[in-house]
C-alpha cells in the first residue's frame, strides 16, 4: 500500500520550482507551544494532576460510573489525554467495565470522535497551510490524489491503531486532510476496532475468556480487518481504473 506521501509515478516535472511555498509559521507555532506549556503547568499544579495518570483516571471514572454525569467526565478526561499524548487505553477499559461492551463501546466511539477534533484543529490551524503549499508545489496536479491517499491512510490507522491516538490526530491536521473526511474516516474507521476491543474486555472481565484467549482473538480480528481494508482498496482501485479507461 502506498503511503500518503509517496509521489505518483505519473507525476510530471511540476515541483518546487513552479510554486514557491511559504516558510513555516514559526511565530504561530511558538504561541501555541507557549499556551500548551502554560496549560500543562497549570494542570500539573492543580488537583487535576492526579487524573493525568491513566490508571488513576480510569479508577476514578469507575468510582463515579453510576452518576448521570459520568459520560461527561469521561469526555473531559479523554479530551485532556488526547491533547497531551497520554494513553487512552485504560479509559477504554474503564468504559467497558462501567457500561458494558455495547453501550461502553458506543460511548467511547462518540467520545473518541469528539476528542479527536481539538488536536486535529490545533495542528491544522498551526501549520497545515504551509504543509499543503509544500505538497501542492511538489505534486502539482496530482495533489488531490495525495490528499485522497492521506484520508485512506487515516482510515487504516483508525481501523488498525498502529500509532498512538493522539499522534494520529495531530498528524492528520498537519497532513491537510479536510475536516469532513477527517471526521468520517475517524468515526467509520474506529467502529470495528472499538467494538472488538470492548467485546473482548467484557468477555475477559466476565470470565468468558482468558487473557491469552482474548489476546489471540484480538490478533485474528485485527488481521481480518486489515485483509478487509486491503480488499476494499484493491476493488476501489480497479473500479477507478475502469472509470478512467471508459472515459
Q: Cα(202)–Cα(198) distance, rounded to whole angstroms?
A: 6
Helices 143-159 and 211-246, interaxial angle, to 10°? 160
DSSP-assigned letter for residue 20: -
User: Does position 80 have pLDDT exceeding 80, yes or no?
Assistant: yes
Q: 29 versus 194: which is more confidently predicted?
A: 194
pLDDT of 150 > 80? The answer is no
Higher pLDDT among residues 44 and 67, named by residue: 67
57 has a pLDDT exceeding 80: yes
- For residues 143 and 180, what is the distance between their CA atoms, to the nearest angstrom? 18
Q: Are 81 and 54 in contact (CB under 8 A)?
A: yes
Separation between Cα atoms, residue 191 and residue 93, nearest integer Å: 16
Over residues 167-209, the pLDDT tens digits come to 899 888 887 788 899 999 999 989 988 998 898 888 888 877 7
Amino acid at each position: 500500500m502506498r503511503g500518503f506521501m509517496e509521489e505518483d509515478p505519473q507525476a510530471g516535472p511540476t515541483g518546487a520550482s513552479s510554486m514557491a511555498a511559504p516558510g513555516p509559521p514559526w511565530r504561530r507555532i511558538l504561541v501555541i507551544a507557549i499556551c500548551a506549556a502554560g496549560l500543562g503547568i497549570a494542570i500539573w499544579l492543580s488537583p487535576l494532576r492526579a487524573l493525568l495518570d491513566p490508571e488513576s483516571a480510569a479508577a476514578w471514572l469507575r468510582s463515579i460510573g453510576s452518576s448521570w454525569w459520568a459520560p461527561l467526565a469521561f469526555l473531559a478526561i479523554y479530551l485532556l489525554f488526547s491533547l497531551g499524548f497520554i494513553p487512552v487505553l485504560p479509559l477504554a477499559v474503564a468504559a467497558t467495565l462501567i457500561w458494558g461492551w455495547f453501550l461502553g463501546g458506543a460511548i467511547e466511539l462518540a467520545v473518541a470522535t469528539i476528542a479527536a477534533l481539538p488536536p486535529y484543529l490545533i495542528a491544522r490551524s498551526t501549520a497545515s497551510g504551509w504543509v499543503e503549499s509544500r505538497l501542492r508545489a511538489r505534486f502539482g496536479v496530482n495533489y488531490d490524489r495525495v490528499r485522497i491517499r492521506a484520508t485512506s491512510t487515516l482510515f487504516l490507522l483508525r481501523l488498525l491503531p498502529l500509532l498512538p491516538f493522539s499522534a494520529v490526530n495531530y498528524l492528520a491536521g498537519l497532513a491537510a486532510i479536510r475536516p469532513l473526511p477527517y471526521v468520517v474516516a475517524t468515526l467509520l474507521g474506529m467502529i470495528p476496532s472499538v467494538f472488538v476491543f470492548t467485546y473482548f474486555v467484557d468477555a475477559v472481565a466476565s470470565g468468558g475468556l482468558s487473557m491469552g484467549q482474548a489476546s489471540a482473538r484480538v490478533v485474528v480480528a485485527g488481521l481480518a480487518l486489515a485483509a478487509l481494508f486491503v480488499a476494499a482498496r484493491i476493488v476501489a482501485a480497479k473500479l477507478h481504473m475502469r472509470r478512467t479507461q471508459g472515459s
